[in-house]
């Protein structure tokens, strides 16, 4: 149970977080990040502020900062699939696919119907030269969201790579 001081800190953090969300909706990401950082100062365990901060920094193409913010959120949240998906994708954007893999797997475990998580796993497997797994994940993403032609295109591209690899072993 929270004592009065902790409760007040949590309320202040939530108020700063709401303010930051209002700025995010206006696409004022720098301003929003100020409020999310203020929320984190009020309550370092308020994972939502770190999650939103990471989202701002991704929009500003500051992937190192975004990864740090998402990592802070993960310390206090183990069941929010978008957090794990965003952290995994951020590591992909930084070129750290090995580091991305466990976060993307967790995102998929938390939400197995996520086409985005399946596609992200397809990308990571492709980068790790696991073409069969890559095709599997892209095919799953396409089955979940057939209107996304990029999933079908990726699946077909990987299929061609697999065919070429098979032809080269003869």
Domain boundary, last residue among 77, 106, 136: 77
State the Cα–Cα distance between residues 32 and 82, nearest whole angstrom.
19
pLDDT of residue 7: 81
Residues 72 and 92 in one domain: no
- 3 pLDDT band (50/70/90 cuts)? confident
Residues 114 and 51 in one domain: no
Residues 2 and 71 in one domain: yes
Average pLDDT over residues 9-25: 97
Residues 47 and 126 in one domain: no
Average pLDDT over residues 85-96: 97
Q: Which domain holds residue 23?
A: 1-77
User: For residue 90, is pLDDT > 70?
Assistant: yes
CATH of the domain at 9: 1.25.40.10
pLDDT of residue 49: 98
Residues 170 and 101 in one domain: yes
State the Cα–Cα distance between residues 97 and 100, nearest whole angstrom.
5
Number of domains making up the chain: 2
Torsional sign, CA 154, 155, 158, 160: negative
With a CB cutoff of 8 Å and minimum separation 6, the contacts of 110 are 79, 80, 81, 84
Residues 169 and 99 in one domain: yes
- Could you tell me the pTM of the whole model? 0.91
pLDDT of residue 168: 67
- Tens digits of per-residue pLDDT, 42-72? 999 999 999 999 999 999 999 999 999 999 9
Give the residue from 147, 28, 43, 144 showing the smallest Cα distance to 120. Answer: 144
Residues 103 and 56 in one domain: no
Residues 120 and 97 in one domain: yes
| Pair 11, 18: CB distance under 8 Å | no
Q: Exposed e or buried b for every residue in 7-43, given b needs 16+ CB within 10 A?
A: eebbebbbebbebbbebbeeeebeebbbbbbbbbebb
| Pair 44, 31: CB distance under 8 Å | no
Domain boundary, last residue among 49, 77, 105: 77
């Amino acid at each position: 149970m929270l004592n009065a001081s902790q409760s007040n800190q949590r309320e202040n953090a939530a108020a700063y977080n709401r303010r930051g969300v209002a700025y995010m909706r206006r696409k004022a990401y720098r301003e929003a990040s100020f409020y999310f950082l203020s929320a984190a100062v009020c309550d370092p365990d308020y994972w939502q502020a770190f999650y939103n901060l990471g989202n701002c920094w991704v929009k500003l193409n500051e992937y190192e900062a975004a990864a740090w913010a998402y990592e802070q959120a993960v310390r206090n949240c183990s069941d929010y699939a978008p957090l794990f998906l965003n952290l995994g994708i951020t590591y992909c954007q930084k070129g750290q696919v090995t580091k991305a893999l466990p976060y993307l797997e967790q995102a998929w475990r938390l939400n197995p119907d996520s086409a985005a998580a399946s596609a992200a796993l397809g990308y990571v497997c492709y980068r790790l030269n696991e073409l069969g797994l890559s095709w599997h994940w892209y095919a799953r993403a396409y089955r979940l969201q057939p209107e996304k032609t990029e999933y079908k295109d990726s699946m077909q591209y990987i299929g061609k790579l697999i065919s070429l690899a098979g032809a080269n072993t003869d």
